[in-house]
Structure 1
């Protein structure tokens, strides 16, 4: 039987703690009960906190732990898997309040077996990154905090569009309820595909999700101080649906095209053309969510003429065709 240790701390998201514990504890159990068979549990779980003290979660619930993480080193922890749940409170204060936990996590170096040893859900990835575990590795976190993550941890290969990433011994899950997807994935890695499929069926979990893109919204990308680029962004916000050319943007900004591309990329992380596409896709998402306007009309209103080209671009950014996006998110 595998041992899973979930780490509790003040300000954590309670559901990301109790939910992942439920999944592991009931793998091989709930499905067996549904079918009148003898349960065959595959995991033992522990909630660990500093010194074994209760953790007060962001919703006000206080959860009693099973023990302390700081009474032994990572190598002596006797855990097959350690999971960091979502930081539910303000991220930077929570990080500053847990220096010992971050130092302890830094001791989880790869054993070379390729088996996942440490995992995080949502903003829990900030804990792993703060410990240096994600440097040079692929990771994901909640899409809404991806800019903050990139600024703080530039050495991490962040993929905020992905729902789950795995790089050697570290797994990360995206935002919100992605602990479902992380849990099912890890159950499959440790207990096999059949146990994972049965668990997903028992909990009525859709295991086909792979991307956060359909749920994300455009972020401002205005955390820079380049006045010329900020002015250009303001203009694009008002005129994105019209005819926009790189030459025209260069003229408006007073920069050469080459300097514009370089400074725009440095300021926003994207090219002017890529930024314009994101603006248009975000406007199209709003129309698809809140209106019954035909896709052809939405296409025209956001600045495109060819519906098939727009649909391909929309799918690239959101993971869904326009019609499928409206079916899922339309009001």
Structure 2
């Protein structure tokens, strides 16, 4: 039996506790119906006997307290909710317990922004990690030693797993089901829960808002200018001159402030504008391409797919119902 311990932290998302319990319990049922032995022994584990969530609207009563767990095979860390620093502060006593279980041989998996609690252990230092795209900047600032996987749904390294944002954690749960059982069982679970088992990128869901939570006024000025001339081609030399910096100094400061090179930032701003246009208008691909300052169809399509994981046509068909009218 694979012992699965689903943590119940303070300030966590109720569904991210219930869903893994439901997933592994359902897999046990599938196995039983096919004449096989159940595979998972699932327990809710917490620091106290009752944990109130959603402002007290719900109470969760863990099956086991953390100091009663001697050995487990897999620790699931659910998504946290609200202010991440406050959530971590309220769960300080869970941090050494997670590290202790990993050092005893347990694998550890974080769901969505549960990655913040996992990273607080130091176990992710020097390793890859996925989390919700909307929290990637905050995560990077709090845990600079961790390599955030931009757009990835599932990351795995050294027995530590993490997932992308929101419902993307279902892909990690299916990944774990496949690892501990087999592909056939994982596919059965995917069909039962109506999950695309091989979805591996959350880029199509991300919204680029520009990294302006820094204090370099000259770089913010350059960022504002980039966003004001989306339909034009902009050179690095032009931007450097506009803020009265040498090119090398400008590129260094821009990268340090935004964690993107100048060209990467320009591309992301333009592709975000293209996405909005595809979502809310009947414009064809060439019209949108020209609208965001591209004249090379191949370059536009290549850049769009690199950033979103979809071709322009796939993206428009996925998100624009006007095109189907």
| TM-score between both structures, scaled by the size of structure 1 | 0.92
* RMSD (CA atoms): 1.8
Task: Trace 1:55-134 onto structure 2 (pairs within 5 A).
Answer: 55-57=52-54, 60-72=57-69, 76=70, 78-109=71-102, 117-134=107-124
Question: Counterparts of 2:169 and 2:40 in 1: how far apart (Å)?
Answer: 16
Judged with a 3 Å threshold, the aligned counterparts in structure 2 of structure 1 residues 239 and 59 are, in CA distance, closer, same or farther, namely farther
Say yes or no: does 1:170 pair with 2:160.
yes
Question: Counterparts of 1:160 and 1:108 in 2: how far apart (Å)?
Answer: 28
- How far residue 191 of structure 1 moved from its aligned partner, in angstroms, is 1.2
Counterpart pick for 1:151 among 114, 132, 141: 141
Q: Secondary structure at the match of 2:212?
A: coil
Runs of 4 or more above 6 Å deviation: none
Question: Counterparts of 1:305 and 1:198 in 2: how far apart (Å)?
Answer: 46
- How far residue 318 of structure 1 moved from its aligned partner, in angstroms, is 0.5
| TM-score between both structures, scaled by the size of structure 2 | 0.94
5+ residue gaps in structure 2?
none
Q: Is the 8 A contact 1:314 1:322 kept in 2?
A: yes
- The equivalent of 1:3 in structure 2 is 3
Counterpart pick for 2:197 among 187, 192, 207: 207
Say yes or no: does 1:49 pair with 2:49.
no
Judged with a 3 Å threshold, the aligned counterparts in structure 2 of structure 1 residues 104 and 31 are, in CA distance, closer, same or farther, namely closer
1:34-81, CA deviations, whole angstroms, 9 ceiling, x for partnerless residues? xxx547422111111113323424683212221111334xxx2x2110
- The equivalent of 1:307 in structure 2 is 297
- The equivalent of 1:19 in structure 2 is 19
Judged with a 3 Å threshold, the aligned counterparts in structure 2 of structure 1 residues 147 and 27 are, in CA distance, closer, same or farther, namely same
- How far residue 179 of structure 1 moved from its aligned partner, in angstroms, is 2.1
- How far residue 16 of structure 1 moved from its aligned partner, in angstroms, is 0.8
- How far residue 3 of structure 1 moved from its aligned partner, in angstroms, is 1.2
Q: Is the 8 A contact 1:119 1:170 kept in 2?
A: yes
- How far residue 209 of structure 1 moved from its aligned partner, in angstroms, is 0.5
- How far residue 111 of structure 1 moved from its aligned partner, in angstroms, is 6.1
- How far residue 243 of structure 1 moved from its aligned partner, in angstroms, is 2.6
